[in-house]
Structure 1
Amino acid sequence: MKIRYRSLDIFRGATVCLMILVNNPGSWSQIFAPLKHAPWHGLTPTDLVFPFFLFAVGNAMAFVLPRLKEQGPGVFWRKVIKRSVLIFAIGLFLNWYPFVRWHEGSLEFISWVNQHNNEKGVRIFGVLQRIAVCYFFASAIVFYLKPKAAWLFSLMLLLVYWAICLLGNPSDPYSLEGWFGTNVDKLILGIPHMYKGEGVAFDPEGLLSTIPAIVEVIFGFFVGSYIKNTASSTEPSAIYKMLTGLFVAGVALLLTGFCWDMVFPINKKIWTSSYTVYTVGLAIITLSTMIYLIEVKNYKGFPTRFFEVFGKNALFIFSLSAFLPKTAGLFTSDEGVNFWNFLYRKIYVNIPGDPKLGSLMYALTVIIFMWAICWWLDKKKIYIKV
């Protein structure tokens, strides 16, 4: 018995598939509760998607960094900087794209700062930007530090971030209004370039909350290295020992995050340290279960084939799922219909019963469409690496 790493591809593919699902409802006002983010403290299944993807980024690093270490710091920095800058630039491009918008019946250029409201502008950070920053710093940490030192440094980052959060409003430092990181983002990024989906200038992918997210990638690297080191063995006992170790670690982290939640609430929007530990534990348990079913029990059902193709072009298909609706927005009719939302506006919205059902059906249609693109790329052996 030998691990073939399919489970890692499928884990990454399932994660990006869920990212696309939650980002493409028919209507943002018609979403089932599990597909919404938690209002503030706590978490829903949707709040697991992003940390799971960062964890998967760390898994992939475990297979690349050993080769970069052999090639030396020069090659390492060229590749890491190039990839980090490219991913960040794609995220910033998607935030700014399509560079023009309709305003009072005519197209106008989307300026860096909105000419009609100087508190609005192009958002600097976002999902891809956080991935880029986390990848950059996590790569540097595990490249230069030995495993034990990297583990201790990660723990220190989580504790330091906890201490930083306490610098906020003493009455409630973990609230939207009291969180210290918002002041840092306002000072460095500027209000026009921050997310305002909470009704105020607050960026859930801002600067300070990226610190514990970096640890998510590092933990993913440790798990990927552990799997990689065991995968060369053909002894069934070695695989079962590895799975046992992963399950124990996952449960331990899960319980640690749950206990930490009592004093440092689990919160995705400010990415608390307890949230990092808790989601890493869940990611390890999920990945371990997948390894057992796919690699040990040799399960080859439809779900594995479906998610695997997503994992082979993960960043590309995620970027495409954001690019297409933004492009469609330029060609929207007076009734708000375009080629991207046509099915929802004309068909799914008319499904009898709960209007959330039509919104979900549309999101699933988007998933099928994106899967078809991934399937075609995989069939043609086209893998778009970033």
Structure 2
Amino acid sequence: MQSSSTAASEPALAQPAPVRRLMSLDALRGFDMFWIAGGEELFHVLAKTTGWAWAIFMADQFTHVEWNGFRPYDCIFPLFLFMAGVSTPFAVGGRLERGVSKGELARKMITRGLILVVLGIIYNNGLFTKPISDMRFPSVLARIGLAGMCAQLIYLYFPNPKVQYAWFAGLLLGYWAAMKLIPVPGCGAGILTLDCSLAGYIDRSVLPGRLYLKVHDPEGLFSTIPAIATALLGIFSGQLLRSDGRSAHRDQKTLWLVLGGISCLVLGYSWGLVFPINKNLWTSSFALVAGGWSILMLALFYWIIDVKKISGWAFFFTVIGMNSILIYIAGEFIDFEYAAKFFFEGILSFFSEPIRATGAVVALLAVKWAFLYFLYKKKVFLRV
């Protein structure tokens, strides 16, 4: 991990780092991280303080489905992993063209993937102050690190697109077959419940420490297999966008992204009839549905920002996207809420409860954004 005082000439490999030739990617990453950083609280606060029907509806959409099903908020994490894949052809492809060896690139991919695993452990548990039995080892960062790393290695060592597609299909079909056919002791085969799924059983058997849901972890080890396919979808999209940079072909690329996203949605929702769409298990149908929506969001941002060159509005999100990993981790070490109260509590005290509550969320987001803007102006970006 390093902090650079100058803009990096190349994006990092193990996380969705900025890609200069694709402005829409930074904006989309920032849009995604905006909700992770607390943007969804706007709807929850409005729903709680006003009772407005539309606010209640939106607040519900910004919660995770308890088990089977899909809501927009379930796409937040897969979208981030998908974008790690999109950046790969730009980062790795450019280095390969400059003669960097595959061995050197592979070492960097593995190192950065493992660094994200360690950062995830620290994010969950602090600086190793807990006994191992109380520590949670799976994490969002670990999944990004491991799944992204594996997808990048596939891209590196299997450059033939047909072979990459075979990997993609094999990962999803193989995970489906394993989850449906391999019996779990005391439960049997194909029972996709919290207590009886194969993914949960394997995680309970091999992972040290505690699991997030006691008997299951949504970022567990076995369910990383289909998450690799999520990152591969991003790589496929990145390869399309990196090919033939002539502006005349950009509308065509947008169309291909839209068709690809719709195809994934049709396949995913159809597959969900026999293999339920489930984020906790990261089922193959979930990978396709979340991937389909991710591709469509990339297509929208790409068409607006890179094709139509309407980019001024995206600066707010770009500032967030340039330091996405940093703002995700920083909340564990920086008291942004204290700063927000210090600057805004006095002003908000003059207003009614709904305005105060909503204003507190806006103030917190403003403080976080100001922190990122300061780093942006100083050209300080966290690279992993």
Q: Which residue number in structure 2 is paired with residue 177 of structure 1?
A: 195
- The alpha-carbon distance between structure 1 residues 341 and 298, as it changes in their structure 2 partners (threshold 3 A), is closer
Q: Which residue number in structure 2 is paired with residue 195 of structure 1?
A: 212
Q: Which residue number in structure 2 is paired with residue 335 of structure 1?
A: none
- The alpha-carbon distance between structure 1 residues 75 and 159, as it changes in their structure 2 partners (threshold 3 A), is same
Q: Secondary structure at the match of 2:77?
A: helix
How many residue pairs get aligned? The number is: 344
User: Which residue of 38, 45, 66 corresponds with 1:21?
Assistant: 38
User: Which residue of 25, 30, 45 corresponds with 1:8?
Assistant: 25
Residue 67 of structure 1: how far off its partner (Å) = 3.5
Instruction: Give ranges in structure 2 of 5+ residues lacking alignment.
Output: 1-19, 49-55
Task: Confirm or deny: 8 A CA contact 2:345 2:360 kept in the other structure.
Answer: no
Residue 265 of structure 1: how far off its partner (Å) = 1.0
Q: Secondary structure at the match of 2:91?
A: helix
How far apart in 1 are the matches of 2:102 and 2:127?
38
Alignment of 1:364-383 (within 5 A): 364-383=362-381
Residue 77 of structure 1: how far off its partner (Å) = 2.2
- TM-score, length-scaled by structure 2: 0.81
User: Which residue of 151, 154, 158 corresponds with 2:168?
Assistant: 154
Task: Confirm or deny: 8 A CA contact 1:35 1:44 kept in the other structure.
Answer: yes
Residue 76 of structure 1: how far off its partner (Å) = 1.0
Q: Which residue number in structure 1 is paired with residue 268 of structure 2?
A: 257
Residue 170 of structure 1: how far off its partner (Å) = 4.8
Residue 288 of structure 1: how far off its partner (Å) = 0.8
Mapped pair 1:110 → 2:123: no
Task: Confirm or deny: 8 A CA contact 1:313 1:374 kept in the other structure.
Answer: yes
Q: Secondary structure at the match of 2:86?
A: helix
Mapped pair 1:92 → 2:125: no
Task: Confirm or deny: 8 A CA contact 1:22 1:46 kept in the other structure.
Answer: no
How far apart in 2 are the matches of 1:324 and 1:194?
26
User: Which residue of 204, 217, 222 corresponds with 1:186?
Assistant: 204
Look up the equivalent residue of 2:327 and give its one-letter code.
Answer: I
How far apart in 1 are the matches of 2:207 and 2:123?
18
Mapped pair 1:71 → 2:72: no
Q: Which residue number in structure 2 is paired with residue 45 of structure 1?
A: 72
Mapped pair 1:320 → 2:321: no
How far apart in 1 are the matches of 2:333 and 2:40?
12
Moved more, 70-79 or 10-19: 70-79
Q: CA RMSD in A?
A: 2.9
Look up the equivalent residue of 1:271 and give its one-letter code.
Answer: W
How far apart in 2 are the matches of 1:360 and 1:182?
38
How far apart in 2 are the matches of 1:125 and 1:358?
37
Task: Confirm or deny: 8 A CA contact 2:194 2:215 kept in the other structure.
Answer: no
For residues 180-235 of structure 1, the C-alpha deviation after alignment (integer angstroms, 9 at most, x for no partner) is 11111111114x33113xxx3310000111111111111101101110113x213x
Q: Secondary structure at the match of 1:193?
A: coil
- TM-score, length-scaled by structure 1: 0.81
Task: Confirm or deny: 8 A CA contact 2:340 2:367 kept in the other structure.
Answer: no
User: Which residue of 224, 227, 246 corresponds with 1:233?
Assistant: 246
Residue 249 of structure 1: how far off its partner (Å) = 1.1
Q: Which residue number in structure 1 is paired with residue 81 of structure 2?
A: 54
Task: Confirm or deny: 8 A CA contact 2:340 2:363 kept in the other structure.
Answer: no
Moved more, 276-285 or 168-177: 168-177
Residue 324 of structure 1: how far off its partner (Å) = 3.2
Instruction: Give ranges in structure 1 of 5+ residues lacking alignment.
Output: 100-108, 114-120, 329-337
How far apart in 2 are the matches of 1:284 and 1:33?
23
Identical positions, percent: 28
Q: Which residue number in structure 1 is paired with residue 353 of structure 2?
A: 352
Q: Secondary structure at the match of 1:324?
A: coil
